Amino acid sequence: MIPLSIGDPTVFGNLLPPAQLESIINRQAQTNKYNGYAHSCGLPEARAAIAEKFTRPEAPLSSDDVIIASGASGALAIALSAVAGPGENVLVPQPAFSLYLTICGHYGFEGRQYPLLPDQRWEADLLAMEKLIDSKTRAILINNPSNPSGSNYSKQHLIDILSLAEKHHLPIIADEIYADMVFAGETFHPIASLTTEVPVLAVGGIGKQYVIPGFRVGWIMFHDRKSRLQRVRAGCESLTHLIVGANTLAQACLPELLLKTDKSYYSELGALMVLLIK
């Protein structure tokens, strides 16, 4: 059996985090500034680093647009439970990371599964997706790049998904934990960079690209240029109080980890992943 569930890149020990991580942790621990609680939405400097790392001219971010959670899974739980409630539904892909349906079931709303098309690079079946939408649908969740299919959606396919979301006045929850982790010759397009109309809650984290899922730091980035999700944003902020914020010491490492990791780390990690797959 080949397990395709939790996606832990540390299991076999052949993928390692950036070499400077140990010194970053030691330096921050020795300050004794991060032994206590932080704001439940995250350290200001950590939120600012995430905004700086992922902002684009087409999709600008500020620190106020970022909420830090306990891993990307925690961020997904906050985002999903903020947009939907009992008796409502959210569209989720199939096949997909099993946590999506687990979260929906836990909070008492339905995860309606739209199929991905294996003979079309695992793109979403938009006709089937639209048939699932009704008056109780609250969001469309996409996972790109995808676990477990490994697909990386084309720019046009993402635009088509956005057109459907705009038609039905639905926000997108974008699980982009594998952002920028694509093969040479491929281009990853953050879906928020392709729209000014559709609100996007983009979820990310340090678990995959930096090979440290155990640090439990993820985030939600709000792209809501028409201010249509103010109540959802307030709900997400309130929900962070349930865990009193993510790991404070790990958050303190984010500015240097995200903004000062040498570019060679990303290319070496990508090359090693290609060898492992072959």
Query: What confidence tens digit (pLDDT) does each residue in 141-189 have?
Result: 999 999 989 999 999 999 999 999 999 999 999 999 999 999 888 999 9
- Which stretch of DSSP H or E encloses residue 137? strand 137-143
Residue 63: which pLDDT band, with cuts at 50, 70 and 90?
Answer: very high
pLDDT at 62 (0 to 100): 97
Tokens matching residue 190: 């953050």
Provide the residue ranges of all domains of the chain, joining segments of one domain with +: 21-277
Query: What confidence tens digit (pLDDT) does each residue in 88-143 have?
Result: 999 999 999 999 999 999 999 999 999 999 999 999 999 999 999 999 999 999 99
The burial of 271, by beta-carbon neighbours within 10 Å (0-12 exposed, 13-18 middle, 19 or more buried), is given as: exposed
pLDDT at 82 over 70: yes
| Closest listed residue to residue 90, CA positions, set 173, 163, 168, 14 | 173
pLDDT at 193 over 70: yes
Tell me the whole-structure pTM to 2 decimals.
Answer: 0.95
21-277 is a CATH 3.40.640.10 domain: yes
Tokens matching residue 96: 């997909």
Strand partners, 218: 69, 205
